[in-house]
Homo-oligomer: A and B are copies of this chain.
Amino acid sequence: MADPSTLTHPDPEGGVRMMDASQKSDSARTAVAAGRVHLGEEAFRRVREHDIEKGDVLTTAQIAGIMGAKQTDKLIPLCHDATINGVEVDFTFNEDEQAIDVRAFTKSFGVTGVEMEALTAVSVASLTIYDMCKSVTKDIRIGDVHLRAKTGGQSGNWKSKSEDTSPAES
């Protein structure tokens, strides 16, 4: 086999690679991600009152988020396949913002983290809320999708600095 180092990358700037994860060590890993779906007055009220024609918004979004987490490595080109041990997706009604706060928790044991799985769960759950409410209003915004905390892995534990003052937590 030719020495890979002699191969010409036709476009060294354009090249992408799925990083080698085999040097990382197995460990328990968790991640928590969050986001917020701004619905406006009417859609917010109708979700809370179970008055959306397509059906139960939050259970549908919860299941979509969990199933979405399992598709993460198929959606994100350079993301590794993590064997997910557990996923939870929760919602909080945020009255002040007329928004639904979405939170996802993922857990695995292995060489790669589950941050992207948690973020994908939040995104897919949020898109599902959008889809179910879009006959009420199209003025819906999905905001502030971010990682709140992670544990395990080479880079150890991490916690978002903004969490203490996040309105979602108060």
Q: Is A99 an interface residue (CB 8 A)?
A: no
Task: Give every chain B residue within 8 A of A91 (Cβ-Cβ).
Answer: 9-10
Partner of A142, one of B55, B123, B148: B123
| A17, B54: Cβ atoms closer than 8 Å | yes
Give 1 or 0 for each of A67-89: 1 = CB within 8 Å of chain B CB. 11011011111111101111110
Known contacts: A5-B48, A71-B74, A93-B4. The answer to whether A59 contacts B16 by CB under 8 A is yes
Number of identical protomers = 6
**Are the CB atoms of B80 and A84 closer together than 8 Å?**
yes
Secondary structure of the A contact surface, majority rule: mixed
B59 and A67 within 8 A (CB)? no
Contacts of A143 in B (CB 8 A): 143-145
Q: Which residues of B contact A35 (CB under 8 A)?
A: 142
A-to-B contact residues, CB < 8 Å: 1-2, 4-5, 7-11, 13-22, 28, 32, 35, 48, 50, 53-56, 58-60, 62-64, 66-68, 70-71, 73-81, 83-88, 90-93, 95, 103, 105, 107-111, 115-116, 119-120, 123-124, 126-128, 130-132, 134, 138-150, 158-161, 163, 168-169
| Contact B140–A75 (Cβ < 8 Å) | no
Which chain B positions have C-beta within 8 A of A66?
Answer: 16-18, 77-78
